[in-house]
Structure 1
Amino acid sequence: MGKETKNRDQIDKKYKWNIEAMYADEEQWKKDYQIVEEKAKDFKSYAGRLGESPQVLLEAFQKKDTIWLILERVYVYARMKKDEDNQVNKYQAMSDKASSLIAKTSSYLSFFTPELLDIPEDKLKGFIAAEEGLKLYEHAINEFLREKAHVLSQTEENLLAQISEIASSTNDIFTMINNADIKFGTITDEDGDEVEVTHGRYIGFMESHDQRVRKDAYEHVYQAYGQLKNTLATTYNYNTKTDVITARIRKYESALHAALSGDNIPISVYDNLIETVNSRLDLLHRYVEVRRKLLGVQDVHMYDMYVPLVELPKEEIPYQKSLDMMREGLAPLGDDYLQKMNRGIEAGWIDVYENQGKTSGAYSFGSYDSMPYILLNYNGKLKDVFTLVHEMGHSMHSYYTRHNQPFIYGGHSIFTAEVASTVNESLLIHHLLENTKDPEKKKYLLNLYIEEFRTTLFRQTMFAEFERLTHYAVENGEVLTAEWLSDEYGKLNKKYFGPKVSYDPLIEMEWSRIPHFYKAFYVYKYATGFSAASAISEEILKKGQPARDAYIEFLKSGDSDDPIELLKIAGVDMSRPEPIEKAMNAFETLIVEIEKLV
């Protein structure tokens, strides 16, 4: 890709996703937009009638599904067009319009849940028994009944729906600051060239074996966030307040209870994760010491935490080669998985390279009736191959689900979604470790696997602990100032990484650059998902077809049951601490192996 970040129109079409498969032209998008507006208005005709008969209730469920199916397509297309280049005002406007339509539609449909819950439970059960078509919605109805205590009156639900757009504005503000406005300046890279620091290049700089490059990039990034610390603290403070106030309005015990309730996840799962990881922080401290010795430095700084411990010859992995590596690594998932994945790649699921204004990072996205698209910022590093494999896990999960579940169960909670992505990563690393003869490369891969544990199991748990801390503070009347946030984050960072890391005040600003904090109590699912995936991939590699078949059944299950129950299909019980403990034991084994190399 070269040193300069290209404009969107300079990228070859074969490396862009086939978004035209959603809408051949934007006139069709406008038509769907209007269809949703009309159908949402018409849906109000069901108000006051849901308890009339089983047939009326079924009809209302089906029409509601149709509205959301089209609206999802409208929103996803607009959002993906905006993500292609955040600088294009036209797509900013389309994305904003789609968000407004979601709020407006939610308002029109807001009577549905409270009115459904006004129907006596025995009458609802009678409706399901009398109308075959309603059996499809039985799990959904049971989920509504479970949340009954937290559903408000129709008037209150309507008011909340109308202000939902304002309530989500802090996320939009952060996104625009983070993707469009903030600039990190330029540094001199390893080759002596002046290079702009971008989101997409930052990790590459942090993996440089030149400590000066790492330090320069690190300081440029955190100083840029530091200059905006009061704005970012205010934005995050109000984001957290929104969570807390919404939870109170809905009569939840806390914002954490509200966040976990949707997936029916016990609070003990969240607390057990933090407690179990905290009880084994000595392992992370041991790893920091291994890092110090292998890097040959007197002091380890936070900007030394990402550089691979073994310097391999610079290897540019062309995108086509990364696809081959993915196919080989995922072979244990069977022919059906690989054939479907290959057809998807050919059909244009993936948007490959970084361009000016493109949303940073990577994701899997799409609507129920679209391709399960993948956004990448591929940069030719081994880490980028793992990102590709990770996002493909999400997209294949979506593919299997959408082809086996009706729309109402066609999504997945993040709790289960992160398992699908991490199983893929785990299979790839096992494949690479088994098939690498070069001892130095093996050492490199071993470190890479350890880093997966550090960044997913430890780091995401640290984030989860921070979120619990910030929400608890707001619930107890505190204001999240820049000083408070930086102080508390600094303490957590010290606790997790231990005394062997040389303290650097700049790391206290890390809270300000984490997009996931704007969707509270989300990141813990990376850690639980990693633990579950560790167990599942081990079973697939040990037992072959029976474990693989059970796993594919899990991928097909979508939202058809609670996440804890769905994972049991794949052989993992996340209601117990054992999967986290097993992951910690696996991490310890890796630490022992790498300590032998010091």
Structure 2
Amino acid sequence: MPSIPTLWKAETNDGKRLRTRDEIDDKYKWDLEAIYPSESDWQKDADKLEELLQQFAGLQGKIGESSESLLNALKLHDEVGKVSGKLYVFAKMKLDEDTSNSRAQALQDKAFGLLVKTESVTAFLVPEILTIDDDKLEAMVKENKDLQLYEFSLQEITRQKEHVLSENEEQLLASFGEILNAPSEIYQMYNNADMVFPTIKDEDGDEVEITHGLFSQLLESKDRTVRKNAFEAVYQTYEKHRNTVAAMYGANVKRGVVSARVRNFESARQASLESDNIPVSVYDNLIEAVHDFLPSLHKYLRLRSRVLGLPDLQMYDLYTPMVQDIDWKVPYDEAKETVLSAIKVLGDDYRSIAEKGLNSGWVDVYENKGKRSGAYSWGTYGTHPYMLLNYHDSLDNVFTLAHELGHSMHSYFSKKTQPYVYSGYTIFVAEVASTCNEALLLDYLLKRTDDKAKRAYLLNHQLETIRGTLYRQTMFAEFEKMAHAHVEEGGALTPEWLDETYYDLCKQFFAAGCHVNDEIAREWMRIPHFYTPFYVYKYATGISAALALSRRILTEGDPAVKDYLGFLSSGSSDYSINLLRRAGVDMESPQPVRSALEQFDSMVDELDGLLS
């Protein structure tokens, strides 16, 4: 096995620093040259996009003339989408490598400008389609065999007819794209490039600079002083910027509220869910179910308090492993092989594609100075999937690898199987494949772990996954619901309102088993997903669906695998609810969420037995 590069490189005898990107071995970086070998190649596609947009602009006023003209417009729209998506994905990922790189910033700005121009130039398409009489549109589809490919897409357009503006209004709104997206862009630059945290002493007494990627690792430390110092350092740093961040977040919420009103939605939440054709009741049922099972969370917190010997359990004690004598370090190359073994239950084809991807430039593995925090899977039509990680040698990061690989395989199969128009998938199902991979990894490890302490460690990990993904994300979802409703009712998102509202939610979720520290009131400031409104609830519904599907795969075998791979290959060719139902789970029912919470409750009891 090749040696693993260390995350830190000594700067002085008594300090450590985060490495720059050029100090990391190329084999642990993704291969963006597979998209564009050089910026000149990127520019060629940018010029091509300008030509395509000019062609598309010439179609204005002609789309409804015949089935052939409609087909030509849809096909050209696909080509525009392919090129503009490729341009933007490359530029954004290039910036994510090092958000302080001014050249990458300039390229991303240019790409985003092209994206806005694309939306503006093509904005007349949907309004023109909606001017076609329903009977005429149906006849056009029937008479033109090639147009039938777009039948479901056209149904989706007409379904949202009442929320589409006039042609001029759509073009005007599209032209404001950069301005409307400004709060999110500003926050990303602030949080990733400008935010600097203090240094603290780690477990070895060495000074380390806290980063987004290192923060979670510090909260897992065995040393309570390290956890406390990291927790206080991060949130006290954010507190210094609370007025600025409140202004950013408030502007982003107002953007969603205004956009929803302009499009005749009852609320920003309805507008967001309508894009996936998800009933608002699914969102409300999720929050209700989680509140019903808060006693299970409180039982887990009391167990954590007892096992750790901390009667005064604090918020910074929630992430350190309860099985303290297990030092389970997993180098990246070992993690890769473990994940590949765990997903073998999904078939040889699935595994071989994943193995090839992990060894051929899909993944950007290690944290470097200026790199975007967190992890994601991305890509576009015509590229293979890409994964950004900030890998540390922890078991949690092995699960992160499995998670992002699940996203990537979902993208791979959808893009391989579906035409461009259906090659993506809705955000509602986006977390299903990733979390299913995590569940399969857990099952694989548990079946090969006889050691009582390690088994307890894995159970603790899964409980933390469900706590973090189902309980925590639902708490986030409830916060978003309250924040948007407050603005819709004429309220202002002041720092005080945001702090108080978030803190009160934390007390509801945690106070029965944990001291809710004052600093946690500022946690809303460090959640990037709040700038993609009403996204986080899908983590909670996603893990519920994934746990149900993984149980079916592990118990039923080939028939369940066939249905699951069919789901991965379906893209957006049908409504998300229907795709999941065919895979074996009904998300319109509250049962998948409640089943996941029941599993959490039973695992708390099992862990209690192991640790008694």
TM-score normalised over the length of structure 1? 0.99
Residue in 2 aligned with 1:351? 364
Structure 2 residue identity aligned to 1:44: A
Residue in 1 aligned with 2:481? 468
Q: Is the 8 A contact 1:373 1:395 kept in 2?
A: yes
Q: Alpha-carbon deviations, 1:390-446, whole Å to 9, x = none?
A: 000000000000000000111111111100000000000111111111111111111
Residue 196 of structure 2 corresponds to residue 155 of structure 1:
no
Q: Alpha-carbon deviations, 1:266-296, whole Å to 9, x = none?
A: 0000000001111111111111100100010
Q: What percent identity do the matched residue pairs reach?
A: 48
Name the CA distance, whole Å, in 1 between partners of 2:272 and 2:33: 35
| Equivalent residue in structure 2 for 1:176, among 166, 189, 192 | 189
Residue 225 of structure 2 corresponds to residue 222 of structure 1:
no
SS in 1 for 2:431: helix
**Correspondences of 1:182-581 after superposition (within 5 Å):** 182-581=195-594
Name the CA distance, whole Å, in 2 between partners of 1:5 and 1:369: 34
| Superposed displacement of residue 329, structure 1 | 1.2
| Equivalent residue in structure 1 for 2:87, among 74, 81, 84 | 74
| Superposed displacement of residue 183, structure 1 | 0.8
Name the CA distance, whole Å, in 1 between partners of 2:87 and 2:516: 48
Q: Alpha-carbon deviations, 1:223-255, whole Å to 9, x = none?
A: 111000000001101100000000000000100
Residue in 2 aligned with 1:139? 152
Name the CA distance, whole Å, in 2 between partners of 1:358 and 1:210: 27
Residue in 2 aligned with 1:12? 25
Name the CA distance, whole Å, in 2 between partners of 1:327 and 1:312: 27
| Equivalent residue in structure 1 for 2:64, among 51, 69, 72 | 51
| Superposed displacement of residue 152, structure 1 | 0.5
SS in 2 for 1:110: helix
Q: Alpha-carbon deviations, 1:92-131, whole Å to 9, x = none?
A: 1111111111111111111110010000011000000010
Q: Alpha-carbon deviations, 1:141-179, whole Å to 9, x = none?
A: 000000000000111101100001100100011101100
Structure 1 residue identity aligned to 2:140: F
Q: Is the 8 A contact 2:197 2:233 kept in 1?
A: yes
Structure 2 residue identity aligned to 1:530: I
Residue in 1 aligned with 2:97? 84
Structure 1 residue identity aligned to 2:59: Y
Name the CA distance, whole Å, in 2 between partners of 1:414 and 1:223: 33
Decide which moves more: 208-217 or 307-316. 307-316
Q: Is the 8 A contact 1:139 1:560 kept in 2?
A: yes
Name the CA distance, whole Å, in 2 between partners of 1:282 and 1:258: 33
SS in 1 for 2:377: strand
Structure 2 residue identity aligned to 1:348: G
Q: Which runs of 5+ in 2 are unaligned?
A: 1-5, 9-15
Structure 2 residue identity aligned to 1:350: V
Q: Alpha-carbon deviations, 1:506-525, whole Å to 9, x = none?
A: 00000010000000000000
Name the CA distance, whole Å, in 2 between partners of 1:4 and 1:333: 41
SS in 1 for 2:387: strand
| Superposed displacement of residue 500, structure 1 | 2.3
Residue in 2 aligned with 1:35? 48
Q: Which runs of 5+ in 1 are unaligned?
A: none
| Superposed displacement of residue 356, structure 1 | 0.6
Structure 1 residue identity aligned to 2:383: S
Consecutive aligned runs of 4 or more in structure 1 exceeding 4 Å deviation: none
Name the CA distance, whole Å, in 2 between partners of 1:470 and 1:69: 36
Structure 2 residue identity aligned to 1:524: Y
Name the CA distance, whole Å, in 1 between partners of 2:17 and 2:519: 28
Residue in 2 aligned with 1:23? 36
Name the CA distance, whole Å, in 2 between partners of 1:4 and 1:163: 41
Q: Is the 8 A contact 1:299 1:500 kept in 2?
A: no
Structure 1 residue identity aligned to 2:365: V
Q: Is the 8 A contact 2:510 2:516 kept in 1?
A: no
Name the CA distance, whole Å, in 2 between partners of 1:548 and 1:314: 34
Q: Alpha-carbon deviations, 1:318-346, whole Å to 9, x = none?
A: 11100111011111111010011111122
Name the CA distance, whole Å, in 1 between partners of 2:146 and 2:567: 24
Q: Is the 8 A contact 1:450 1:590 kept in 2?
A: yes
SS in 2 for 1:51: helix
SS in 2 for 1:223: helix
Structure 1 residue identity aligned to 2:420: F
Q: Is the 8 A contact 2:506 2:516 kept in 1?
A: no
Structure 2 residue identity aligned to 1:316: K
Q: Is the 8 A contact 1:312 1:441 kept in 2?
A: no
Structure 2 residue identity aligned to 1:324: E
Name the CA distance, whole Å, in 2 between partners of 1:500 and 1:402: 46
Decide which moves more: 255-264 or 324-333. 324-333
Name the CA distance, whole Å, in 2 between partners of 1:272 and 1:223: 35
Name the CA distance, whole Å, in 2 between partners of 1:427 and 1:313: 22
Structure 2 residue identity aligned to 1:112: L
Count of aligned residue pairs for this structure pair: 598
| Superposed displacement of residue 313, structure 1 | 4.2
Q: Is the 8 A contact 1:401 1:556 kept in 2?
A: yes
SS in 2 for 1:364: strand
| Superposed displacement of residue 585, structure 1 | 1.0
Q: Alpha-carbon deviations, 1:165-210, whole Å to 9, x = none?
A: 1001000111011001111110000001001100010010000011
SS in 2 for 1:298: coil
Q: Alpha-carbon deviations, 1:478-505, whole Å to 9, x = none?
A: 0001000000000000001132211311
